[in-house]
Amino acid sequence: MSLGTPTKAEYVPLGGSPIWVFALFIVNELPVVVANFWLGLEIAPGVLLGFAIYFMITEEFHWRIHLGEKLPVGFRRATAHHLAHHMRPNGRFNIFLPLWDKFLGSIRD
């Protein structure tokens, strides 16, 4: 709703506040930690690191899209894909990788 307004930067961060970002990590990592413990997989540290890196990249792309900054080569079309989500919020949930939206059928034009 703040798209194009002077206050848009206040609403760009994913999660909204640090407590919600922490909750995102807990919700996404809890099943991995449980599986790691019960099955002895020893993958939780790598998965946590991978999720943290993915989240940082996603946050960076999200800022760049909303503040009109350049994206890396190969991701130029991500801006149109993501901004279409704001026009129709019940689709196009992925911020910069439309592959999963296509695969899961969440692109609604």
pLDDT in tens, 37-84: 999 988 899 999 999 998 899 889 988 888 888 999 988 888 888 887
* 97, burial (CB in 10 Å: exposed 0-12, middle 13-18, buried 19+): middle
Confidence of residue 7 (pLDDT cuts 50, 70, 90): low
Helix residue ranges, H only, the chain: 18-39, 44-66, 78-87, 99-104
Q: Give the pLDDT of residue 2.
A: 55
* Mean pLDDT score, 17-22: 86
Side-chain half-sphere exposure of 90, counting CA atoms within 13 A: 2
Taking the model in full, what pTM does it have?
A: 0.73
How many residues does the structure list for the chain? 109
